[in-house]
A and B are shown apart, each in its own frame.
Chain A
Amino acid sequence: MAKYEFGLYVFMLSAFLGFELIRRVSPLLHTPLMSLTNAISAIAVVGAILVTGDANATPFSKTLGFIAVVASTINVVSGYLITDRMLKMFKKRGPESK
């Protein structure tokens, strides 16, 4: 049971840390923030790799794992790229000062 207890502590602390960090994000950047957190939650790719690459994987679990790797890779790749694409557009000064 100790293992789960440890996991719950980790969850609790990360959730509070998340609240404190996100509260400081300027509303200006809420859209890029969502695509960034979306890319981060594609960390599910870790689970997907473990399922797909497992030595004892059945064809069924391998197929589901494969789809999961594809889906989370799409999120990782497009999530980070589009966040950066959006952030590049935020400029402080107007066009006159160029």
Chain B
Amino acid sequence: MMENLLPVLYILAAAGFILALKWMSSPATARRGVIAGELGMLLAVVGTLLRFEVVEYQWIFIAFFIGSAIGVPLAYLMPMTAVPQRTAISHAFGALASALIGTAEYYRHTPHGFTMAALVLETILGFLTFTASLMAFGKLQEILPTRPITYKGQNFVNLSLLGVAVALGIGLVLHPEQTWMFPIFSALSLTFGVLLIIPIGGADMPTVIALLNSYAGLSASAMGFALDNKLLIIAGALDGSSGLILSIIMCRAMNRSFTNVLFGAFGQLQTTAAAAEQKPYRSASPEEAASILEAARSVVVIPGYGMAVAQAQHKLRDLFDNLTRRGVDVRFAIHPVAGRMPGHMNVLLAEADIPYDKLVEMDDINPEFPMTDVALVIGANDVVNPAARTDKNSPIAGMPILDADRARTVMVIKRSMSPGFAGIDNELYYMDKTLMLFGDAKSFVANIVKELGVAARAH
């Protein structure tokens, strides 16, 4: 009886996961999606615990307890600005789990044929995603340098290492009983994960995180083949395709290819490009900025990673409230790769209670810039650089950008005139209609709000 019921639990669990993703399509139904996902996971775990092969529960429950004791505080105490790091570290946990299960299965059963091939795939993806995600975590947490680290022959070293790991993997599939190969195979996979992330800079993190998400899913799916478990295959495939789509979207938003992101570290070569000549620019004080904003009818705010670093989103909410009360139409233009992971800016602005219907995607807002009175750029740089449209030799040539330069007035809050991540000078800053607002994003926005308040009382 029980044996007939268990597959039903797994099928329902798979349906829960599918509904979870379906309901994520809109903010109105998304929370329902989380509940569907939770129920799916609950059914999967119960269905597994009831299986006849599972006889010993003690260690499983201790592990559940430890995992929850770490997981709950991780979810509630993590500040929203640290979400990219949390995502990276959780990819590391997931991948580690797959790799360890692959290892345990190998030494227990030494499977052959197709099962062994699945196991090898599970283990290589698991181990390389584990160390790669740890490296990504280190870079996002700024424990490791965020600039890309490159050396001569890097791609050759990386690819030959991967080649040897794959060759050993094939060797293991053909001769699973040659156990000496397995530790070397694992060690090479772990090392490759580290080397893969070393040349990747902060601005490429959205693509890389999405890609690691995909690998972690594919590893779980491969585990499904190794254990002959359809639920694992389905859940892993859903996750794998999700990560892949997101990384494709990110690549497209930067007009770059996968290989270019993974093997073409840029950013170091161009730093000297236009540093020599000093072009004139105009700067303004918080009072001046406040009076321009006050006189505007429509304002589009363009946030970037700098806003997250300065934690300026709550002050930006005050500015939003203040201007909205005066009848100014304030919206936020979100570039797909703004920040350090897909959707990063949206979460930060939502956290600051900015209504999500004011967050507009790039393709929808771009036609409206010519009718916009003020474009206010906060901590964004390359995503508003007109060179992407005009200069064919620019490293960001062809990258879709937010057309801030087409607004009637442009204001840029920035610490100094230093170039952004790509090391490319931004001609937006030198336009006649551009005002540079020098200072920390958070305190500058706070000052503008203060000036607006003073002006209101003076009326």
Query: Hey, which bits of chain A sit against chain B, CB under 8 A?
Result: 1, 3-4, 7, 10-11, 14-19, 21-58, 60-62, 64-96
Kindly provide the distance from the CB of A15 to the nearest chain B CB, expressed in whole angstroms: 5
Contacts known (A10-B234, A28-B27, A81-B76); A4 close to B213, Cβ less than 8 A: no
Contacts known (A28-B346, A40-B239, A50-B54); A21 close to B22, Cβ less than 8 A: yes
Could you tell me how many residues of chain B have their Cβ less than 8 Å away from some Cβ of chain A? 115
Q: Is B341's beta carbon under 8 Å from chain A? A: yes
Interface residues of chain A: helix, strand, loop or mixed (majority): helix
Whether B76 pairs with A50 at a CB distance below 8 angstroms is no
Whether B220 pairs with A92 at a CB distance below 8 angstroms is no
Whether B245 pairs with A94 at a CB distance below 8 angstroms is no
Instruction: Chain A residues near B321: list those with CB within 8 A.
Output: 94-96
**From A10, A32, A67, A96, contact of B324 by CB (8 A):** A96
Instruction: Chain A residues near B70: list those with CB within 8 A.
Output: 70, 74, 78
Kindly provide the distance from the CB of A8 to the nearest chain B CB, expressed in whole angstroms: 8
B 34-75 binary contact with A (CB < 8 Å = 1; else 0): 100110110011001101011111011011101110111011
Whether A44 pairs with B97 at a CB distance below 8 angstroms is yes
B 237-277 binary contact with A (CB < 8 Å = 1; else 0): 11111111110010000000000000000000000000000
Whether A29 pairs with B343 at a CB distance below 8 angstroms is yes
Q: Knowing that A41-B216, A47-B101, A65-B100 are A-B contacts, what are 9 other residue pairs whose CB atoms are under 8 Å apart, sorted by A's residue number? A: A15-B241, A27-B334, A30-B246, A30-B341, A31-B347, A33-B24, A41-B220, A84-B34, A94-B358
Instruction: Chain B residues near A87: list those with CB within 8 A.
Output: 27, 30-31, 34
* 6 closest cross-chain pairs (CB), A and B: A73-B67, A30-B343, A77-B71, A18-B241, A81-B75, A53-B54
Chain A to chain B contacts (Cβ below 8 Å), 10 pairs = A21-B18, A31-B342, A31-B347, A36-B37, A38-B90, A38-B213, A39-B41, A71-B97, A77-B68, A91-B356
How far, in angstroms, from A21 to B20 measured CA to CA in the complex? Answer: 10
Contacts known (A14-B234, A43-B220, A81-B72); A51 close to B104, Cβ less than 8 A: yes
How far, in angstroms, from A82 to B232 measured CA to CA in the complex? Answer: 23
Kindly provide the distance from the CB of B428 to the nearest chain A CB, expressed in whole angstroms: 24
Contacts known (A11-B221, A66-B59); A42 close to B24, Cβ less than 8 A: no
Whether A90 pairs with B356 at a CB distance below 8 angstroms is yes
Kindly provide the distance from the CB of A88 to the nearest chain B CB, expressed in whole angstroms: 7
B 113-153 binary contact with A (CB < 8 Å = 1; else 0): 01000000000000000000000000000000000000000
Instruction: Chain B residues near A72: list those with CB within 8 A.
Output: 67, 93-94, 97
Kindly provide the distance from the CB of A46 to the nearest chain B CB, expressed in whole angstroms: 5
Whether A43 pairs with B56 at a CB distance below 8 angstroms is no
How far, in angstroms, from A48 to B40 measured CA to CA in the complex? Answer: 17
Kindly provide the distance from the CB of A16 to the nearest chain B CB, expressed in whole angstroms: 8
Whether B94 pairs with A38 at a CB distance below 8 angstroms is yes
Kindly provide the distance from the CB of A34 to the nearest chain B CB, expressed in whole angstroms: 6
Whether B231 pairs with A65 at a CB distance below 8 angstroms is no
B 2-20 binary contact with A (CB < 8 Å = 1; else 0): 0000000000000001101
